[in-house]
Chain A
Amino acid sequence: MSVTLEMRRGGFLTAVARAREVGLFAVLAALVLATTMIDPRFLGAQGIKDILEDVTVTALLCIGETIVLLMRQVDLSVSSVLGITAYATGTIFAVHPGAPIALVMLVGAAIGAALGALNAALVAFGGVPSLVATLGTLYVFRGAEFAWVKGGQINATSLPKDFLALATSGIGPVPYVALIVLALIALAGYGLRHYPGGREYYAVGSNEEAARLAGIDVPRRLTLGFLSCGAFAGLAGVLFTARFGTVDATAGTGMELHVIAACVVGGVAITGGVGSVEGAAIGALLLAVISNALVSLRVPVFWEQTIEGALLLVAISLDLVISRRTLALMRSDRAHG
């Protein structure tokens, strides 16, 4: 009896979570359809390529940010980490034009992980709240980059053609960078869902004290979470350079709140324990589609932010309604079941 109840409840919760992603996808599909009817080029090869190019960097940042948000923490420093590795990528190629691309990506991720380790140390061992710690490192990293780069700039001409081709060419309309990010989303999503370590992120964010009592090593989870977030941001910096070609010390400035917004629109709860990497990526995709659709529909581009903000508010309000209803259903389940 109680077993079936547990199963029903679990099944119901999963169904709700899935409904959230399905709902988001429906909005996305409706938007794409409506825009395509008005401007058929929107869904043409070039249109798809534009959207995917726009979304890759944000989606990559969303993977790491989701892991951190799941633990009921936040990482505001991702944009500054991206800035550093974006410029580092250009510098590496300027010094060693023949450097293997995969190696540069690894180096970018490693630099990001090292910077993430600093956040991890502050949060997990220094007891500094993540909002304060990463707001601090947002400034420290960016300031350090400015001091390093000064007025310098990386130009596309000093980057290898193969490297730039990662963003400009691909399979059909899908650029290689988008494929890389897609693979990482699938990998991270699977890991979070099916590995004990992945589930621990949810446990820590749902109830840290309970997680600790259940034997989860919370500081270790926090450390790994901020490390991976840094690594993803580091890799995002490498792809940023591939995508834009021109990079200066301001690369990525102000992206942190946009990334969090994308995650939240995608169903990741800022209060921890709820959400998925796939959802966050769809959130990022939705925002990118909106921004491209506005161009296609010849709507002045500044409405984009208004819509992004309104969408975020609608998304979190809906989440609340759904979770309250779920709770009520679970209660009545317990009472009548």
Chain B
Amino acid sequence: MADALAPLRHWEVAIWILVVAALTFGNHLSPAFLTADNLGNLAANLSEIALMALTSTMVIIAGEIDLSIASALGMCSCLLGLLWSYGVPMPLCVLAAVAAGALAGAGNGLLVTWLGLPSLAVTIGTLALDRGLAFALLGDSAVADFPTFYTNLGFGAVPGTTIPNPMVLFAVLAVLTIVVLHATPFGRALYAIGANPVAARFSGLPVARYKFLLFVLSGAMSGLAAIVYTFRFSSARGDNALGFELPVIAAVLLGGVSIFGGKGSVIGVIAAIFLVGVLQNALALVDVSNDILTVVTGLALIASVLGPNLAARAESRLHRYRRAAGAGEEQPQRENGR
């Protein structure tokens, strides 16, 4: 078992080393990089993707996927704006946004657990559906006249520092996710479910209920991210966070979570989010266009799976070679992939 997790641990260590390397690289590129202002700015831009990556990590570890997160964000943002423009008190608007997200998630969860439909297909459907609803709520218009108190919450920083407020929210939720995922029966059950749902069910785990709960959480997180996004940009629009789903999934996978479920950790995902963010920011400071970063992100994503696979293959070949030289026994092959 310890051996099976070895490449994964390596990847998590490797990606944190990469983050440090990227920070050093950034410092080399520009003296403006390692300043409190710039790092705060860097972190603020990651807010929504980082938040949604937390729940997506759990969903993917449990062997499912939610592609509707960004569309749900758009829908919740529009609902927030619409209710506010109707004069609903802001605390209620905020609550409604999270509730709407949770409701959208519950819809996904029902289709996946109750009907037994594949989550990839279901959430491609709700990706279109939720985005459509977002535009249906606000049309082509935008709501922008949010009270300064709230926009300051989204845009501002912790007093006396440059740590953006949303990052405090993220830190709290990240710690919570780590605890839940790694230290509670629910979290451990998610790994078991992702590794083998049938075995998990036969061991008495409430697979359907847990998966349903995961989709609700994922939706609620989109609602929360919608609030952050809306206040940060002081704008509720139908196209808010358009196309954010793939960067989130990419960050989760880059962080070492297996797309087949059962493997991965929040620590690795957080590293992946910051790795992408740091590179993006550092390259932007020296006017290197985003294209290179896009290529690097894609390559890193592929390497995160290909690397351990090739290593495992080389290792097993070496084993076999040694065995052949010795006892001549068959060595079972282990691979991370299909």
Contact (A139, B136) CB under 8 Å given A127-B309, A312-B121, A320-B116: no
Identify which of B116, B128, B291 gathers the most chain A CB atoms within 10 Å of its CB: B128
Contact (A132, B253) CB under 8 Å given A147-B292, A260-B124: yes
Cα-based distance from A320 to B302 in the complex (angstroms): 33
Per-residue B-contact encoding for A152-184, CB less than 8 Å = 1, 0 else = 000000000000000000000000000000000
Q: Are A127 and B337 in contact (CB under 8 A)?
A: yes
Cα-based distance from A136 to B303 in the complex (angstroms): 9
Chain B residue contacts of A258, Cβ below 8 A = 128
Q: Are A128 and B117 in contact (CB under 8 A)?
A: no
Q: Are A316 and B246 in contact (CB under 8 A)?
A: no
A306 within 8 A of B: yes
Smallest CB separation, A293 vs chain B (Å): 15
A33 within 8 A of B: no
A143 within 8 A of B: yes
Q: Which of B129, B297, B338 contacts A310 (CB 8 A)?
A: B129
Q: Are A128 and B305 in contact (CB under 8 A)?
A: yes
Chain A residue contacts of B309, Cβ below 8 A = 126-128
Smallest CB separation, A252 vs chain B (Å): 13
B206 within 8 A of A: no
A 290-316 contacts with B by CB, 8 A: 300, 302-310, 312-313, 316
Q: Are A135 and B289 in contact (CB under 8 A)?
A: no
A44 within 8 A of B: no
Q: Are A261 and B125 in contact (CB under 8 A)?
A: yes
Per-residue A-contact encoding for B285-313, CB less than 8 Å = 1, 0 else = 00001111111111101101110011001
Q: Are B115 and A320 in contact (CB under 8 A)?
A: yes
Q: Are B128 and A128 in contact (CB under 8 A)?
A: no
B131 within 8 A of A: yes
Give the nearest-CB partner of B303 in chain A: A136
Identify which of A74, A253, A261, A306 gathers the most chain B CB atoms within 10 Å of its CB: A306
Smallest CB separation, B215 vs chain A (Å): 14
Q: Are A139 and B295 in contact (CB under 8 A)?
A: yes
Q: Are A302 and B122 in contact (CB under 8 A)?
A: no
Q: Are A257 and B337 in contact (CB under 8 A)?
A: no
Identify which of B290, B335, B338 gathers the most chain A CB atoms within 10 Å of its CB: B338
Q: Are B124 and A142 in contact (CB under 8 A)?
A: no
Chain B residue contacts of A239, Cβ below 8 A = none
A contacts with B, residue count (CB < 8 A):
49
Contact (A143, B293) CB under 8 Å given A126-B337, A271-B118, A305-B135: yes
Q: Are A139 and B298 in contact (CB under 8 A)?
A: yes
Identify which of A132, A141, A264, A306 gathers the most chain B CB atoms within 10 Å of its CB: A132
Contact (A309, B259) CB under 8 Å given A126-B310, A127-B309, A136-B298: no
Cα-based distance from A208 to B133 in the complex (angstroms): 39
Q: Are B298 and A128 in contact (CB under 8 A)?
A: no
Smallest CB separation, A314 vs chain B (Å): 9
Q: Are A316 and B306 in contact (CB under 8 A)?
A: no
Q: Which of A126, A143, A308 contacts B298 (CB 8 A)?
A: A143
Cα-based distance from A143 to B280 in the complex (angstroms): 13
Chain A residue contacts of B128, Cβ below 8 A = 257-258, 261, 305-306, 308-309, 312
B147 within 8 A of A: no
Given contacts A146-B289, A316-B122, 11 further A-B contacts (CB under 8 A): A126-B310, A127-B306, A131-B259, A132-B302, A135-B253, A144-B291, A305-B135, A306-B129, A308-B128, A309-B131, A312-B124
Interface residues, chain B, CB within 8 Å of chain A?
65, 67, 111, 115-118, 120-122, 124-133, 135-136, 139-140, 238, 243, 246, 249-250, 253, 259-260, 289-299, 301-302, 304-306, 309-310, 313, 335-338
A-B complex: 8 closest residue pairs judged by Cβ atoms: A127-B337, A309-B129, A306-B132, A143-B294, A139-B298, A302-B135, A305-B132, A309-B128
